[in-house]
Amino acid sequence: MASDSVGPVLVPVLGDQLTRDLASLRGRSKDDTVVLMMEVWDEATYVRHHKQKIVLIFSAMRHFAAELRDAGWTVDYVRMDDEDNAGSFTGELARAIEDHAPRLVSVVEAGEWRVREDMDQWADKFACEIEILRDDRFICSQAEFDDWAEDRESLRMEYFYREMRRKTGLLMDGDKPEGGEWNYDSENRKPPKDGLSAPQRPTFEPDEITQACLDLVEDRFADHFGSLDHFGWPVTRDQAEQAADAFFAERIERFGPYQDAMVHGQDDLFHSMLSTSINLGLLDPLELCKRAEKAYRDGKAPLNSVEGFIRQIIGWREYVRGFYFNRMPHLQKANALNAQRGLPEFYWTGETDMRCLADCIRSTRDNAHAHHIQRLMVLGNFALLAGISPREVQDWYLVVYADAYEWVELPNVAAMILYADGGALASKPYAASGNYINKMSNYCKECRYSVSKKTGEGACPFNPLYWHFMHRHRDRLASNHRIGRIYQNWDRMGEERQQEYLDSAEAFLDTLEPAASGWARG
Ligand code: FAD
Ligand code: DLZ
Ligand code: SF4
């Protein structure tokens, strides 16, 4: 609705939009703008986020507001502990419109569907012009993704990624990929050698602002999942840049080869640990890719590492976001494999004798982080094989990771790990037996279960669960050209052996305690 008001421009900046280069702030005059930032109960509790995630977002928001004020901007900052906090973005916007009588509200589209739906109502609700801008921190616009996806029965990241390489010019040699190949993944599967360890990533001591957020969360969110003992995430652009510097100086060289490796107690290995900062807006993903390319061109990192890193960002990260908005809201309810089992309690407590799972859950609880292959091939693989309900798995992943927002969590969970979309995103389920985990980690050596034992007492549960999964989804998977041949092995086993696998799996599944309600949603 047009307005003849002469008030300022009101710019709501959400908790994951913390950059001065945001489309709604870029080019604006400080004298004519009120920035609105809101800590609200709805966002802090729509799922019961890990405590570290709430501290991270509130502290980063408070630091960003201080940085804006220091630079001369007017910021209307609503704190969670303000007495008259309205509790929601829409409630706070109503209050701010009353207070500032803006001539325009200019906001960047939200990253999550549920917030976008609310935002889409604002133009009808408020008697003031509302402008919703595209989030151009992403390289690919939704229109571009939807165009690319149209008429394709199944979407594959690899082809999308090549488009993004051409679009950005990253690692291109004219119109050819640098080095002759688009993808060097086959060089990026080195198992961890004994004693493999990586330099410590920088962590950041809580300052006064972060300490206030730690106190707030201990007070108001005490019963949320996770520990605050090790909080050390970057909460400012400066700190995030220090974290990026350390990655480019010390870890990118071996990022590629050991991307899929897992070592007990070594939580970060050679991963960048930059997802929290990228998703908050503290780091620009394209800039990071350019730095990675420079490291290659300067001879400081090999092509397989640099290509792998760039692919995660302009490939997977952009692809899952496009996929999310292309498939919402149905993606939230997708359950192609009809998985109905409740999430086991150990996902919250870490109390399981399966050493791989216990270590990944410990890291998740202590750091609000687990690296990609832990999320995919341990935690995700178990949920897939055990047939856990997608809604419960989705909630868990959204709660427990400091980098989790639905646009990135949901495609990874529903489509990548659970195959709940029936194969629109991934060409086959990422199902694996204990062999895979044993090859890529040092978990099995000291596990109570034996990875070489296939069935019966003491056998690694992933082994019978793998065949139980393949058996129960034979109708769907036998015709899949990437996985179908596996049934020849199953058929060769003979009925008696097959039954041993199925009985072992059933016996194990019967031992799983479903989680008490209330961990993920209040
Ligand atoms: P690195 O290994 O250093 O990778 C570099 C960057 O690439 C990451 O920072 C991230 O921005 C991007 N990236 C890598 N893989 C992916 C991917 N599959 N999808 C999107 N971006 C990717 N990432 C999130 O940011 N938020 C989530 O909620 C999230 N949930 C996940 C759930 C599951 C089941 C799986 C399998 C993956 C999920 N990921 C998620 C992707 C990935 O695991 C994390 O981005 C990564 O572990 C973050 O650590 P890092 O920064 O050290 O990543
Ligand atoms: C995740 C989160 C949390 C815990 N709290 C807030 C908050 O109080 N204020 C805010 O602006 N953003 C928060 N966020 C991030 C938002 O959930 C995120 O910006 C939207 O989900 C994106 O659509
Ligand atoms: Fe995990 Fe099985 Fe290895 Fe134990 S033996 S650590 S359960 S893969």
At 489, which amino acid appears? N
For residue 463, the ligand 3 atom closest to its alpha carbon is 2
Over residues 412-424, the mean pLDDT reads 96
Ligand 1 mutation pick, 376, 408, 421, max ligand atoms within 8 A of CB: 408
Q: Does the pLDDT of residue 3 top 70, yes or no?
A: no
The answer on 390 and 320 residing in a single domain is: no
The answer on 401 and 377 residing in a single domain is: yes
Ligand 3, atom 3: closest residue by C-alpha: 444
210 occurs within a structural domain: no
The answer on 365 and 288 residing in a single domain is: no
- Residue ending a domain, among 327, 356, 384, is 327
* Cα of 114 from ligand 2 centre, angstroms: 11
pLDDT > 70: what percent of the chain?
99
Confidence of residue 2 (pLDDT cuts 50, 70, 90): very low
Q: Note down the domain range covering 188.
A: 142-201+251-327
Confidence of residue 1 (pLDDT cuts 50, 70, 90): very low
* Cα of 16 from ligand 2 centre, angstroms: 6
The answer on 148 and 101 residing in a single domain is: no
241 occurs within a structural domain: no
Owner of token pair 């589209």: 109
> Is the CB of residue 110 below 6 angstroms from any atom belonging to ligand 2?
yes
Of 12, 149, 6, nearest in space to 78 by CA: 12
For residue 355, the ligand 3 atom closest to its alpha carbon is 6
The answer on 352 and 264 residing in a single domain is: no
Main-chain dihedrals φ then ψ at residue 324, nearest 5 degrees: -55, -55
Ligand 1 mutation pick, 188, 275, 357, max ligand atoms within 8 A of CB: 275
**Element spanning 216, H or E:** helix 208-220
* Cα of 268 from ligand 3 centre, angstroms: 20
Owner of token pair 């498939």: 327
Q: Does the pLDDT of residue 30 top 70, yes or no?
A: yes
Confidence of residue 167 (pLDDT cuts 50, 70, 90): very high
- Residue ending a domain, among 111, 133, 155, is 133
Instruction: Count the Cβ atoms, other than its own, within 10 Å of residue 349.
Output: 16
The answer on 368 and 259 residing in a single domain is: no
Residue 5's pLDDT is what?
62
Residue 441 falls in which region: left (phi positive, over 0), alpha (psi -120 to 50) or beta: beta
**For 186-222, what is each residue's pLDDT tens digit?**
999 999 988 899 999 999 999 999 999 999 999 999 9
Ligand 3, atom 7: closest residue by C-alpha: 354
For residue 111, the ligand 2 atom closest to its alpha carbon is 23
Query: What gap in Å lies between CA 52 and CA 229, rounded to an integer?
Result: 9
Over residues 76-87, the mean pLDDT reads 94
DSSP designation for 199:
P
Confidence of residue 522 (pLDDT cuts 50, 70, 90): confident
What lies within 8 Å, CB to CB, of 275 at 6+ separation is: 403
The answer on 442 and 391 residing in a single domain is: yes
Domain count, the chain: 3
- Residue ending a domain, among 99, 133, 167, is 133
**For 222-262, what is each residue's pLDDT tens digit?**
999 999 999 999 999 999 999 999 999 999 999 999 999 99
457 occurs within a structural domain: yes
Ligand 3, atom 1: closest residue by C-alpha: 356
Domain CATH for 118: 3.40.50.620
Residue 195's pLDDT is what?
80
What lies within 8 Å, CB to CB, of 175 at 6+ separation is: 166
Owner of token pair 């034979």: 474
Within 6 Å (CB) of ligand 3, which residues are found?
Answer: 354-356, 434, 437-438, 443-444, 447, 449, 451, 460-462
DSSP designation for 264:
T
Residue 13's pLDDT is what?
98
At 376, which amino acid appears? L
At 402, which amino acid appears? A
Residue 4's pLDDT is what?
56
- Mapping DSSP onto H, E and C, the string for 226-247 reads CCCCCCCCCCCHHHHHHHHHHH
Confidence of residue 153 (pLDDT cuts 50, 70, 90): confident
Ligand lying closest to the C-alpha of residue 432: 3
The answer on 390 and 314 residing in a single domain is: no
* Cα of 1 from ligand 2 centre, angstroms: 27
Distances 102 to 20, 37, 39, 128 between C-alpha atoms, Å:
20, 15, 21, 7
The answer on 195 and 284 residing in a single domain is: yes
Yes or no: say if 129 and 3 are a contact pair by the CB < 8 Å rule: yes
Domain CATH for 489: 1.10.579.10
The answer on 356 and 321 residing in a single domain is: no
- At 484, is the secondary structure helix, strand, or coil? coil
DSSP designation for 311:
I
β strands within 395-489, DSSP E: none
Confidence of residue 152 (pLDDT cuts 50, 70, 90): confident
Over residues 363-377, the mean pLDDT reads 98
Ligand lying closest to the C-alpha of residue 50: 2
Beta strands 172-173 and 176-177 are: antiparallel
> Is the CB of residue 43 below 6 angstroms from any atom belonging to ligand 2?
yes
